[in-house]
Amino acid sequence: MKTLELVDRLLAEFRGEDIAYCHWKSTTNLTASLSGETDLDLLVSAEHRERCLALLDNLGFLQADDSLDLPLPGISHFFGFDRSSGHLVHVHLHFQLIVGDDLVKNYRLPVEGIFWASAKTVNGIAVPAPEVEFIIFVVRMTLKRRLSSILVRVLFLLNHPLKSLKHLVGFAPLVLNRKAQAEFDDLSSRISEKELTRVLCTHFPFISPDLFEKCRLSLLGKGHRLAWIGVGNRLSRALVDCRRSSGFAAFGKMFLQAFRLRIRAVAARTGFPSVQRKSPLSGGRIIAFVGGDGAGKTTMVKDTAQWLGRYFSVRTLHLGKPNKGPLWFVLLALMRVRALFPGKTKDSFHKSVRYWLVAYYRHRAFCRAVRLRRRGRIVLLDRVPLPDSRYMDSPRIACVAENRGGVIRFMAAMEEKWHRHIKADDLIVLRLDPEIAAERRPDDDQELLAKRSGEIWRKNWPVYNVHVVDASKPLEEVVKQVRSHVWGILARKNKVIELLGPAGSGKSTLAEELRRRFYNFHAVLGWRDGKSLFLTTIIKRLPYLIPGMLQGVPLSHLKIAISTETILKMLSPQYRRHYVHGLPAFLEVGPAFLLAFLEKESARFDRRWLKELRMLLKKSIDHFVWLDASDDLLMARINGRSKRHRIKHVSEGDAKRFLGDYRQCLRELVGSELPDAPVTTIDTERLSVAECADIVARIGQYSL
């Protein structure tokens, strides 16, 4: 098997940065690890942690976790995309050597140094001396075969119950499985017994040679059939100083983890496969595949789900043909009864009800996708309603309804509202020439096929978060392009950018230009997006709210404060993955602006609470964009627009005083409270709206 290009680059960077590392286990299958078939188990010096993480980030690796993973210090999972092959690379990164039963891993062995000291390069990757790996292998396998581990697995049916009972009563020897036995035999053939004894005595003083030999023999099934029980207990006592938790606490953790795994297994068998696998640390995504008939949407959705599903929790939903529920069958049955009356067969009302039901179930499926995304899942949508579309999954009631009665108008309004609400985080557009589509689908209605494919082919797509793929190319090339786009979507940072500046500086105009360029654009993040956080904030702040009301603080100002704190919590590192889904959030009216408002307009507002909000602000905004222009231009803009403003048509002196006060307040907030926050200043008097949008888009990691 050939080493993947990404793995080669990763190992070359490790050597170039002089990072102490090695592939510390399962070197028997090293070629499979280098080719991406299995994971790379890399043990890296804790001293080089920051350099290692920066290196992985530069190579496009993405960190992921599983809600049921053991929370082990210094151990994490990273995934990278090898563009040349289209394969994913799984790096299981260790900064500490933690071993033990898979349900608890309770022992941290302070012997990492011997791994790097004895490492030699094999096939371009550093591996430890076979004696070192063999000692750790024997220790790992022995700790996995302790009596408590077997009993817990039998209790929760995690192993074959009949075989486990035979092992427990001594009817059958407890031997290694085929893969572990192959590794044992390979390492045994490569070690020197003399060197093994030397390494054991020098670097593993807590394990006597006699105990090690007994562990070794127990793995081979030699001696008494229950010898593994005593050997496991002796080894655990020898490693007592290396324990992470006491024996009783470790057993409790093991019991809890086994229970959680059993719940997961039951859930998977009862129709909840999305509870499996890992989720990106940056949060879930909703990615929609659109295209004309014959473009390969369903094929690409299936391929992407299989490709990502090896490691990640992926769910696919078909919004073009959503799953139906009881309401569908009940209403259509009523429509059939209605059709028995003269003149009612398939009239506009009948069609409107059907289209209304389709829109209802599409919206319902999308709401399910949003819930899955919030839990960290990757959701792939087959088709999605497109803005300004006439033939592809668009609202239909307004077009077919002959009778514009109140009921039909109500259904049409609901249909349009539901379709507007359905927006994925990113679109992958499979663009296919209508003539090629006709060749691929000769049995379809050619007139309708030309309209549907032509609409996608000729559409002027937004610049950002829409990824256009030429679906006329060979399947293998299309798959590589789609995978590359999907990985770029997953690896994109959840960046939060706030637009700041005095009134009239162009925040709304710039936001509108960005909205035109983005298929899905976040300009406002409100408390309604995090209702549970909003309620907990109200309860937490009651000691401030009640005195504030008694002291005459306006209720509107208190609501602004609660909303601001809720937004800051949603944008904090702890919660951001649930509310900012890989898209840059360009906040037109963000928390810094709201804090400045409270500072300026609410003299009686509690200063202690305001200070706490400023502390939260430090953790929540990644970048500030300061928009400004001359006072004369700002006043002209304010006076020339229809929107009301408190300084509209006031005297020049009062207007300049107001603008100056707000500038000073905002700059003090950003400059003194957030000295490390990046701030980009844009002169909206000198630059056009398009030029300003280009600058802001680059800050959000987008470029033309």
**Measured on CA atoms in the order 569, 571, 574, 575, is the torsion positive or negative?**
positive
Residue identified by tokens 């500030």 is 624
Total of domains in the chain: 3
Q: Are residues 201 and 111 in the same domain?
A: yes
Residue 703: per-residue pLDDT: 54
**DSSP string covering 374-409, please?**
HTT-EEEEE----TT-SSSS---HHHH-SS--HHHH
Higher pLDDT, 380 or 511: 380
**Other beta carbons less than 10 A from residue 634's beta carbon:** 23
Contact (CB, 8 A) for 393 and 318: no
Q: Are residues 244 and 305 in the same domain?
A: no
The mean pLDDT value for 651-670 works out to 84
The mean pLDDT value for 437-446 works out to 86
Whether pLDDT at 564 is above 50: yes
Residue 546 burial by Cβ neighbours in a 10 Å radius (0-12, 13-18, 19+): exposed
Q: Are residues 505 and 450 in the same domain?
A: no
Q: Are residues 669 and 691 in the same domain?
A: yes
Q: pLDDT for 189-199, tens place per residue? A: 999 999 999 99
Q: Are residues 238 and 160 in the same domain?
A: yes
Q: pLDDT for 197-245, tens place per residue? A: 999 999 999 999 999 999 999 998 877 888 889 999 999 999 999 999 9
| The last residue of a domain, from among 437, 465, 491 | 491
Residue 22: per-residue pLDDT: 96
Q: Are residues 505 and 646 in the same domain?
A: yes
| The last residue of a domain, from among 462, 491, 520 | 491
Q: Are residues 483 and 549 in the same domain?
A: no
Whether pLDDT at 31 is above 80: yes
The mean pLDDT value for 337-349 works out to 73
Q: Are residues 390 and 452 in the same domain?
A: yes
Q: Is residue 271 part of a domain?
A: no
Domain containing 372 — which CATH number?
3.40.50.300
| Cα–Cα dist 335/106, whole Å | 64
Whether pLDDT at 704 is above 50: no
**Whole domain around residue 583: which residue ranges?**
496-699
| The last residue of a domain, from among 444, 468, 491 | 491
Q: Percent of the chain, pLDDT > 70? A: 95
User: How does DSSP classify residue 245?
Assistant: S
Higher pLDDT, 392 or 13: 13
Q: Are residues 69 and 126 in the same domain?
A: yes
Residue 673: per-residue pLDDT: 47
Residue 407: per-residue pLDDT: 85
Q: Are residues 452 and 571 in the same domain?
A: no
Whether pLDDT at 472 is above 60: yes
The mean pLDDT value for 140-161 works out to 88
Q: Which of 200-209, 331-340, 536-545 has the lowest mean pLDDT?
A: 331-340
Q: Is residue 552 part of a domain?
A: yes
Q: Which of 11-20, 72-81, 356-365, 554-563 has the lowest mean pLDDT?
A: 554-563
331 Cβ contact list (under 8 Å, min separation 6) = 353, 357
The mean pLDDT value for 637-651 works out to 83
Average pLDDT over the chain, rounded to an integer? 88
Edge-to-edge strands of the sheet including 466-470?
A: 314-318, 378-382, 285-291, 426-431, 466-470
Q: Is residue 283 part of a domain?
A: yes
Q: pLDDT for 666-692, tens place per residue? A: 887 776 545 556 888 899 999 999 999
Q: Are residues 620 and 513 in the same domain?
A: yes
* pLDDT confidence bin for 164, thresholds 50/70/90: confident
* Rounded CA Rg of the chain: 31
Q: Where are the beta strands (DSSP E) in 5-135?
A: 21-23, 40-44, 62-65, 75-82, 87-94, 98-99, 107-108, 120-122, 125-127
* pLDDT confidence bin for 249, thresholds 50/70/90: very high
Whether pLDDT at 401 is above 70: no
Q: Which of 260-274, 344-358, 497-511, 568-582 has the lowest mean pLDDT?
A: 260-274
What the block records as the tokens of 202 is 């020098």
Q: Is residue 360 part of a domain?
A: yes
Whether pLDDT at 26 is above 70: yes
| Cα–Cα dist 499/486, whole Å | 29
User: How does DSSP classify residue 68?
Assistant: T
Contact (CB, 8 A) for 150 and 168: yes
Pairing type for strands 279-280 and 75-82 reads: unpaired
Whether pLDDT at 404 is above 80: no
Residue identified by tokens 């906040």 is 587
Q: pLDDT for 67-91, tens place per residue? A: 778 889 999 999 999 999 999 999 9
The mean pLDDT value for 275-284 works out to 82
Whether pLDDT at 263 is above 90: no
Q: Is residue 572 part of a domain?
A: yes
Residue 381: per-residue pLDDT: 96
Contact (CB, 8 A) for 493 and 621: no
**Other beta carbons less than 10 A from residue 345's beta carbon:** 12
The mean pLDDT value for 324-350 works out to 81
The mean pLDDT value for 514-522 works out to 84
Q: Percent of the chain, pLDDT > 90? A: 49
Contact (CB, 8 A) for 51 and 93: no
The mean pLDDT value for 601-624 works out to 85
Q: Is residue 262 part of a domain?
A: no
Q: Is residue 257 part of a domain?
A: no
| Cα–Cα dist 532/537, whole Å | 9
3-class secondary structure per residue, 116-160: HHCCEEECCEEECCHHHHHHHHHHHHHHHCCHHHHHHHHHCCCCC
Whether pLDDT at 16 is above 60: yes
* pLDDT confidence bin for 48, thresholds 50/70/90: very high
Q: Are residues 388 and 311 in the same domain?
A: yes
Q: Is residue 225 part of a domain?
A: yes
